[in-house]
Structure 1
Amino acid sequence: MSRFFNIQTDAEGVCTIFLYGDIGDYYEVQSGRVARELLEAEKAGSRIHVRINSNGGDVYCGIAIYNTIKNSKADVHIYVDGIAASMASVIALCGKPVEMSKYARLMLHS
């Protein structure tokens, strides 16, 4: 699994995908990369942690990430480590469940 940039696996087989950075095809969090990593994580284990620290970004890339996570057969847990703003907040809301510390922020547009 080391060939993937945003994914780590621990000794218990729990995979962690990091959505750190802006969302979009030309930014750190790319929908195609996240989809491939999620499929690889599903093969490696049934539990996946998605950790978010993002100001948001491209809506259509975010929707693709949202749908990929939402349709996953794995047990997906979402953690907001810093901020989940704009499109990143929509992705965070597909969690099963969503956890965040009292210092983290979730920003939704009205």
Structure 2
Amino acid sequence: MNKLRALLAANQKRGSFRAEANTIYLYDMIVADEFEAEWWGGISPAGFIAQLKAMKGDVAIRINSPGGDVFGAVAICQAMREYDGAITVHVDGYAASAASVIAVAAPKVIMAPGSFMMIHNAWTVAIGNVDDMMATAELLDKVDGSIAESYATKSGKEAAVFRDYMAKETWFTASEAVDVGIADAVAEDKPKATAKWDMSAFAAAPKLPEPPAVDNQNTEDHVSQRVRQHAARMLERAA
């Protein structure tokens, strides 16, 4: 099984995709079409585009995705470019692989504290003779060049810079992504997404930090205090 299929299989039907008001939650893998979405789970370009087309005004796209099909991501990117309103991407967890391509298509990218953006060379599987293999290698090189151009367009840097990062499978922290120009800011609020993806298909995937623990005792004390205060006011009114 090639690496992309391994990624899809390891994360089959783990994700979620929804749209609320003018926010799209892309907490899922990216797949090529509806058939793959039905089999593996994940969001297809058709599913994403249908939600985006139903919106008006400015849109937020929140991402926590291990990536997936690059051509599916390219179709999503084009829909984002054609959208009339402003689009802001928020990376809540991972924007890895194809998900990073979607992220940098937005005019504004905000990284959550502790989030990661990963870029790497494209994967595929090929069957055939030496000519088939050479043709596949040629195609992969073109795909990698196109992906590098998308990062270069976002950052204002040369595509060659990103070809080097892609060859090494580079995981950028939030501040590193801002420094290299593929993100615009680090959010001040707490992380919203937790790590739930199996990232073993990648060579050096870091784990997202656990969200801050909720102090249940303090929460319960606060609720009890409010109940007591409300009861006291009711008694004062009755008197």
How many residues end up aligned between the 2 structures?
Answer: 98
The residue that corresponds to 1:19 in the other structure is 26
Work out whether 1:8 is the aligned partner of 2:20.
Answer: yes
- Cα deviation for residue 31 of structure 1 reads 0.7
Q: Percent identity?
A: 34
Bigger relative contact order (CA 8 A; separation at least 6): 1
Q: For the residues of structure 2 that align with 1:63 and 1:94, how far apart are their CA atoms?
A: 9
Output the CA distance in 2 between the equivalents of 1:107 and 1:99.
15
Distance 1:47 1:36 in 2: 16
Give the alignment of 1:68-79 within 5 angstroms.
68-79=79-90
Higher percent of residues as helix: 2
**Length-normalised TM-score, structure 2:** 0.40
Question: What is the Cα deviation at residue 29 of structure 1?
Answer: 1.5
Q: Is the 8 A contact 1:17 1:49 kept in 2?
A: yes
Question: Is 1:101 paired with 2:108?
Answer: no
Pair 1:39 & 2:46 matched: no
Using the TM superposition, give the Cα deviation of residue 102 of structure 1 relative to its aligned residue in structure 2, in angstroms: 2.7
After superposition, the C-alpha distances for 1:49-81 in whole angstroms (9 at most, x for unaligned) are 000010100111111011111221111110000
* Counterpart secondary structure, 1:41: coil
- Which of the pair has more CA radius of gyration? 2
Letter of the structure 2 residue corresponding to residue 61 of structure 1? G
- How far residue 95 of structure 1 moved from its aligned partner, in angstroms, is 1.2
Point out the more displaced range, 18-27 or 83-92: 18-27
Q: Could you tell me how far apart the structure 2 residues matched to 1:40 and 1:20 are? A: 19
- Give me the CA root mean square deviation: 1.1
Q: Is the 8 A contact 1:20 1:29 kept in 2?
A: no
